Amino acid sequence: MKAISTQRPLGLTVLGIVALSLFAVGAYLALVYAPRDFVQGDLIRIMFAHVPVAWVGFLAVIVTAIFGSLYLWLGRQRHDIVAVAAAESALFFFALTMLGGMIYSRPTLGTFWTWDAKLTLTAIMFTLLVGYFIVRGLIDDPERRGRVSAVIGLIVAASLPFNWMAAEWFRTLHPARAIVIDDGGVRTTMAPIYLQILLFNVAVAALIFLYFVLERIRIGKLEAALQAAEDDRGLAGTTEVVRV
């Protein structure tokens, strides 16, 4: 069996440092450099974190579904490893999304939680992702575990359009999308400085997601190699020579 190094690649370490540095820049832009909004005041600053983690959470679900589908089709372990890595990040980013929504709701609506369509759909997706990992923990057979969790990943992905369009499709307290992409191109109601800071933080969140996924893939490959080694040792231990 080919040995897999346990040392983190230098490029991955550099990526982590760059992502952390840009995160600090994004935090400064959002918390200090951005001006107060005329209507919302300092509450506008929550948007610079809430929107990026929500968008990247959607991206993580899409990646989970794509590689889960590849596993269902080809049955290759590396696809399952990538799907799990993306699902873990999706769980993390959706947790931050709900936290940001609750922080914003408290001063604006007087409560941390409302059964708003968008917030509720996000909570459902988060719950499904929790179930994704519960199922993985309950199934011992690697192939069946990968296939069942891939199906759950596809179910989560199927709910994405409803979440993305919730503010337009349902009666909701959630603000309408400030950036709209349609036949007329890209339109926004945001001030240019807000849009620039928002898109910068979206890029930073995507970079952090990339680091998380690559690091988790590295760990997943190590786990698979260790499991394969244990299986080989167990198989060798069951072989005995009987001398008469």
Q: How far apart are CA 173 and CA 225, in angstroms?
A: 49
Cα 215 to chain center, whole Å? 14
pLDDT for 35-62, tens place per residue? 988 778 888 899 899 999 999 999 999 9
Q: Which pLDDT belongs to residue 189?
A: 63
Place of tokens 């989560």: 156
- Answer whether residue 100 is part of any domain: yes
Q: How far apart are CA 161 and CA 4, in angstroms?
A: 40
Q: How far apart are CA 95 and CA 204, in angstroms?
A: 18
pLDDT for 146-192, tens place per residue? 999 999 999 999 988 887 776 665 566 556 555 655 555 555 667 88
Range(s) of the domain holding residue 51:
10-225
244 — pLDDT class (breaks 50, 70, 90): very low
- Answer whether residue 230 is part of any domain: no
pLDDT for 206-217, tens place per residue? 999 999 999 999
- Answer whether residue 97 is part of any domain: yes
11 — pLDDT class (breaks 50, 70, 90): very high
60, 119, 145, 205 from 177: Cα distances, Å:
20, 14, 38, 19
- Answer whether residue 243 is part of any domain: no
pLDDT for 121-140, tens place per residue? 888 889 999 999 999 999 98
- List all residues 6 or more positions away from 95 whose beta carbon is below 8 Å from its beta carbon: 126
Query: Who has greater pLDDT, 243 or 199?
Result: 199
Structure tokens at 48: 């610079």
- Answer whether residue 237 is part of any domain: no
pTM: 0.85
CA max distance for the chain: 92
In sequence order, what E strands does the chain have?
179-182, 185-188
**How many domains, in total, are found in the chain?**
1
Mean pLDDT calculated for residue range 67-85: 95
Residue length, the chain? Answer: 244
- Answer whether residue 221 is part of any domain: yes
Query: Who has greater pLDDT, 115 or 83?
Result: 83
Which pairs from 187-196 meet CB under 8 Å and 24+ separation?
193/34, 193/35, 194/34, 194/37, 194/44, 194/47
- Answer whether residue 18 is part of any domain: yes
- Answer whether residue 232 is part of any domain: no
Structure tokens at 52: 């990026």
37 beta partners: 41
Query: What is the percent of the chain with per-residue pLDDT over 90, rounded to a whole number?
Result: 52
33 — pLDDT class (breaks 50, 70, 90): very high
Q: Which pLDDT belongs to residue 37?
A: 82
